[in-house]
C-alpha cells in the first residue's frame, strides 16, 4: 500500500491535520508518539536514556523529564547525537512493524515525520524519496510561536529557538507534493484536508490529479 508522509514545523498544526486525515480513513504512524511510548519506564529506550544522561533527567515519579532532555540536546549537538543513537533504531523497528501491519490490511498509511526535511533543506533519509507523497502543513512563524506559547506553555525565546533549529518554511515547502496552509481559518483547513484526502485516494487508485 502506498505510504504518505506528513510534516510541518513545530506549532504548524501538523498533528491536527493528521488527526483529521485519520478520521477520513488513513492509518497513522506517529513517530513522536512511538518515541513517547518507548521512553516510558520499563522500556529499553528509557533505561538507555537514564544510563546515558543520569538521574538528572528523571521526574519525581520516575518518568523522564522530557522538557529537560529537550533543553539538554537542543543546546548541545553531541548530546543530541547521543540521544538519537538510542532512540532512532528503536523507533525505526517499531515503525517498520506498524507499516507491515497496515499494509497487510490494505490501508492508506500516513507517517507523521516532524523532521522529514533536515536543517540543510534535504530529505533526512534517502528512503523518504520513495514515499508516494509528501504533505507539508505550513503556517506563518508568528502564528506558530503564538500557538506554542498559548497551548504548550513555551517561553517565546524557547519557541523561536526551536523554530530556528528546524528547516525553514521554504526548505520544507519545496519538497511538498501537497501543501496545506494552516494559518488559523477552520473552514479553509477543513476544505484543504478534504482535498488532500481526495488527492491521496487518487494516487492510490493510480489516477493522480496533480
**141-188, pLDDT tens digit by residue?**
999 999 999 999 999 999 999 999 899 999 999 999 999 999 988 889
Asked if residue 86 and residue 100 are part of one domain, the reply reads: yes
pLDDT at residue 156 in the model: 96
**What pLDDT score was predicted for residue 184?**
82
Same domain assignment for residues 84 and 16: no
First vs last C-alpha separation in the chain: 19
Does one domain contain both 132 and 208?
Answer: yes
Residue 206 has a pLDDT of 75
Q: Are residues 21 and 121 in the same domain?
A: yes
The answer to whether 70 and 159 have CB atoms below 8 angstroms apart is no
Neighbouring CB atoms inside 10 A of 66's CB total: 13
Domain end call among 107, 125, 150: 107
Q: For residue range 89-119, what is the model confidence (pLDDT) as tens digits?
A: 998 899 889 988 998 898 999 999 988 999 8
Do residues 1 and 98 share a domain? no
91: CATH: 3.40.50.300
From residue 24, alpha-carbon distances to 7, 20, 107, 196, 200 in Å are 18, 7, 12, 11, 11
DSSP 8-state class, residue 168 = -
Asked if residue 182 belongs to a domain, the reply is yes
CA distances from 155 to 31, 48, 59, 85, 145 (A): 25, 29, 21, 28, 9
The predicted model scores a pTM of: 0.81
Side by side, the strands of the sheet bearing 133-138 are 27-30, 109-112, 3-8, 133-138, 178-181
If asked whether residues 15 and 80 sit together in one domain, one would say no
The total domain count for the chain is: 2
pLDDT value, residue 195: 98
Specify which residues 43 forms β-bridges with: none
Q: Is residue 32 part of a domain?
A: no
31 located within any domain: no
CB atoms within 10 A of CB 56: 10
What is the residue range of 176's domain?
A: 1-26+108-210
**One domain, residues 48 and 113:** no
Question: Which one of 107, 137, 156 terminates a domain?
Answer: 107
State which of 59, 79, 107 marks the end of a domain: 107
**According to the model, what pLDDT value does residue 210 have?**
43
The pLDDT value recorded for residue 133 is 96
pLDDT of residue 8: 96
167 versus 31: which is more confidently predicted?
167
Residues 186 and 94 in one domain: no
Same domain, 93 and 124: no
Residue 47 lies in a domain: yes
Whether 189 is covered by a domain: the verdict is yes
Amino acid at each position: 500500500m502506498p505510504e504518505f508522509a506528513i510534516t510541518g514545523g513545530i506549532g504548524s498544526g501538523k498533528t491536527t491535520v493528521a488527526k483529521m486525515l485519520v478520521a477520513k480513513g488513513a492509518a497513522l504512524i506517529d513517530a513522536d508518539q512511538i518515541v513517547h511510548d518507548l521512553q516510558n519506564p520499563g522500556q529499553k529506550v528509557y533505561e538507555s536514556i537514564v544510563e546515558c544522561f543520569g538521574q538528572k533527567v528523571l521526574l519525581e515519579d520516575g518518568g523522564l523529564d522530557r522538557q529537560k532532555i529537550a533543553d539538554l540536546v537542543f543546546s548541545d549537538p553531541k548530546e543530541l547525537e547521543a540521544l538519537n543513537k538510542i532512540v532512532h533504531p528503536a523507533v525505526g523497528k517499531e515503525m517498520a512493524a506498524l507499516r507491515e501491519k497496515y499494509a497487510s490490511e490494505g490501508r492508506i498509511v500516513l507517517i507523521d515525520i516532524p523532521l522529514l526535511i533536515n536543517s540543510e533543506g534535504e530529505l533526512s533519509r534517502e528512503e523518504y524519496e520513495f514515499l508516494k507523497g509528501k504533505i507539508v502543513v505550513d503556517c506563518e512563524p508568528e502564528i506558530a510561536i503564538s500557538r506554542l506559547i498559548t497551548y504548550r506553555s513555551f517561553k517565546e525565546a524557547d519557541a523561536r529557538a526551536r523554530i530556528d533549529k528546524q528547516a525553514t518554511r521554504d526548505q520544507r515547502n519545496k519538497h511538498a507534493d501537497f501543501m496545506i496552509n494552516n494559518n488559523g481559518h477552520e473552514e479553509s483547513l477543513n476544505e484543504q484536508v478534504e482535498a488532500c484526502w481526495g488527492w491521496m485516494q487518487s494516487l492510490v487508485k493510480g489516477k493522480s490529479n496533480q
